[in-house]
Structure 1
Amino acid sequence: MSFLSTGAQLPGDPIDNTTLERLCGPLPEDVLTGIGVRHRHWIIDPETGEHHSSTTGMATAAARLALERAGLEPGDIDLLVMSTASPDHALPAAGTFVQERLGLDRCAVVEVRAGCVGAVQALDYARRMLADGTYRTALVVGAESISPLLAPVYLGRDPFRVRMRDRLTVYTFGDGAGAVVLRAGEEGSAAEDPLGHTFATQCLGGGRRPGMQVVGGGTDAPLAEQRRRDRLMEIRLDVPGTAEFGPQVFATGLRDVLRRSGLSVDDVDACVLPEGNAEYFSREFESAGIGAADHSALQKIIVENLADVGATGSAAVPLALDAGIAAGRVRPGHKVLLLAIEASRYLYAGLTLTWQGPGHV
């Protein structure tokens, strides 16, 4: 089974921190440095909140690019697995709209409702379906539209009256979509992955307050009660909690994947970890149990693009993988570890693979 290609879609022009400072007020310099985001892309116009794209629109664009790079047509796909926490509609599943936009009357569609860990979980599901012969060619897409929840924080308000915790949310998140194409190989052929695959996922937050929660638009309360809230939907972050416990989740996930795979950090050519170099994250590695030698080795192999795209939920890992391939950080034959950390309930998902697709042309 081969990982053939990736595709990415970032909506609109990049939005810099100067623009956000004008719209919702400044962040302290140390906080801005800590989150590490310089630009992000939104499906909305930051000045007006008007939408110019959608989750499924971005997902379809990323999918088409991945298929083009793989030399395939949409009709070659018989399994589509999508992850998102921000679908266009509660139902039907967002993946079915991507199927429709790709012109497929029939296709197996599975959807994972998750944030950052979702794309890795979706990749593992797809590769298992290919490995057992159920399907031949799979398209995996992670897409997220977070900006529609951010605009109500500042639109029509004095920027200096926006709460600091709300500003932090606005500065942190971006929208985007990433896609990966996988194809089953003939048994014993050169297309089989010599590394094999190891997958690990776990939720460590069963007894903890959520690190991130999207409140509203669900069934937690009567709709009439929800309408009386200040905002119909909003993102709530436990900033101290994520800063303290997030690195512990990373360390646990890394150790789990390495133990299951029999690999060491030195055996890995690229660790795709979208937030791995954020200061608030990496400065806690040692206290989380990552030794000095492994920490030093990780700094050389971490592949991430947080500064350019922000925190993008389900899109984070495929976007970082795509950027790593474009930059030559992930090359054919590389042993790659995909590791996603999600603050919502402190989840991790990791997958090892050998990258076999070509670089971007």
Structure 2
Amino acid sequence: MTARDALMHLAGTGSALPGEPVDNEALSGFFGISGDWIDLFVGTRTRHFGWDPATGKITHTLADLCAESAARALAAAGLAAADLDFLVLSTATPDTLLPTTAGETADRLGLNHLPVYQVQAGCSGAVQALDLARALLAGGHQAGLVVGGDVTARFLRAGQDASDLATQELVNYVLFGDGAAAAVVTAEPHDARAVAVRGLLHRFAGLGRPPGQIVGWRGLAEPEPDRQMLFEDYKTIEEDVPALAGEIVWELLSTAGWTERQVDFVLPPQLSGHMTDRIVAGLGLPPGCREVSCVRDTGNTGNALPLLQLHRLLARLAPGERALSVVVESSKWIKAGLALERPTGEGGQAR
């Protein structure tokens, strides 16, 4: 497979995490949750918030973070906003229902007279957005911007004594953080640093299965103040995600025509630090395959996470090396992922 056979290419990436990292001791002080319990149960050390958990004051909106990460991705690619043909943004937590956060982000970047899409999704949203970008590139566009991000201010209450919450809601106070990340995608390799997307998986797998996660919506009004807005079936997720991740690995290998020994990096699902360890251990990849994760430092940032991992990968991926990005969305069970390769040269491939 040559560089021109790739589905699309990643020309540059960028990320944005708001404020200073919040460690488990600080999180314990904000929400009354044991820091030791967080360490033991989740394995995440820090996360970032675009709001003050003590007061609820908003410091960064989702549009702020998306525009910042997108500008950094453009700079990394060496492209200007005028070079873009489209923008696709994925999120589960838009700033408003209308106008869309995608439109607000485009405005801040100075984009105009081009298609702008917003995908409503959970953890798999970034891959869904890349899938849409792939179709747009196949239809004749040359370059586009994919952005993913989420914020928690609407769903985690400042000053909440979360220790009294039901476990399915409590866990959300320790799993999630805020952030955004972006990637510039092109139909042809932009330069020798471009990473080729050799395979892309995006498949609904939730027929007849109850959701593993529910995020409610009530807008500005709160007619049901006691209604549980967040539900996380962590036990079911813990049981089912490793098996789904294994299925994704083998489907991606089959699509790309690779063997497991030809994979240099794996970007595993990022619900929590401890679960990531369990997933990687069960994937059956060779010992030399290196892990690219960020959840221990960022928390689960939802739509941003796969792109945050890609941002870290691009700094490490050498010519001729390959990677698999594995994504599972538990809200209604979606399997997603990418097979990635940095070619050795013009028209070259890894091995």
Give the TM-score of the pair, scaled to structure 1: 0.84
Matches within 5 A, 1:14-53: 14-27=21-34, 29=36, 32-53=39-60
Aligned counterpart, 2:147: 141
Q: Of the candidates 100, 117, 125, which is equivalent to residue 118 of structure 1?
A: 125
| CA distance in 1: counterparts of 2:162 and 2:152, whole angstroms | 20
| CA distance in 2: counterparts of 1:338 and 1:280, whole angstroms | 16
Q: Of the candidates 299, 306, 315, which is equivalent to residue 317 of structure 1?
A: 306
Aligned counterpart, 1:344: 331
Do the aligned partners of 2:249 and 2:326 also contact (CA within 8 Å) in 1?
A: yes
Q: 5+ unaligned residues in a row in structure 2: which ranges? A: 1-7, 345-351
Matches within 5 A, 1:61-100: 61-100=68-107
Percent identity of paired positions between Structure 1 and Structure 2 = 33
Is residue 175 of structure 1 aligned with residue 181 of structure 2?
A: no
Matches within 5 A, 1:222-261: 227-230=223-226, 234-261=229-256
Do the aligned partners of 1:341 and 1:348 also contact (CA within 8 Å) in 2?
A: yes
Q: CA deviation at 1:193?
A: 7.9
Q: Of the candidates 282, 292, 300, which is equivalent to residue 289 of structure 2?
A: 300
340-349 or 191-200: which moved more? 191-200
Q: CA deviation at 1:25?
A: 2.2
Q: Of the candidates 255, 258, 265, which is equivalent to residue 263 of structure 1?
A: 258
Do the aligned partners of 1:143 and 1:176 also contact (CA within 8 Å) in 2?
A: yes
Do the aligned partners of 1:27 and 1:167 also contact (CA within 8 Å) in 2?
A: no
Give the TM-score of the pair, scaled to structure 2: 0.86
Q: 5+ unaligned residues in a row in structure 1: which ranges? A: none
Do the aligned partners of 1:201 and 1:253 also contact (CA within 8 Å) in 2?
A: no
Do the aligned partners of 1:147 and 1:173 also contact (CA within 8 Å) in 2?
A: no
| CA distance in 1: counterparts of 2:94 and 2:266, whole angstroms | 28
Change (3 A) 1:104 1:356: farther
**Residue identity in the other structure for 1:338:** S
Do the aligned partners of 1:210 and 1:346 also contact (CA within 8 Å) in 2?
A: yes
Aligned residues: 337
**Residue identity in the other structure for 2:301:** T
**Residue identity in the other structure for 1:41:** H
Aligned counterpart, 2:137: 130
After superposition, give the CA deviation of every residue in 1:268-291 in whole Å (9 maximum; x if it has no partner).
2222224288323543677x7x4x
Is residue 210 of structure 1 aligned with residue 205 of structure 2?
A: no
Do the aligned partners of 1:147 and 1:174 also contact (CA within 8 Å) in 2?
A: no
Do the aligned partners of 2:206 and 2:332 also contact (CA within 8 Å) in 1?
A: yes
| CA distance in 2: counterparts of 1:30 and 1:47, whole angstroms | 21
SS at match of 1:61: helix
| CA distance in 1: counterparts of 2:340 and 2:285, whole angstroms | 21
After superposition, give the CA deviation of every residue in 1:220-267 in whole Å (9 maximum; x if it has no partner).
xxx98x612325x72211111111111122122222212222212221
| CA distance in 2: counterparts of 1:27 and 1:273, whole angstroms | 27
| CA distance in 1: counterparts of 2:330 and 2:62, whole angstroms | 21
Change (3 A) 1:20 1:167: farther
| CA distance in 1: counterparts of 2:235 and 2:134, whole angstroms | 36
| CA distance in 1: counterparts of 2:99 and 2:41, whole angstroms | 38
Do the aligned partners of 2:263 and 2:289 also contact (CA within 8 Å) in 1?
A: no
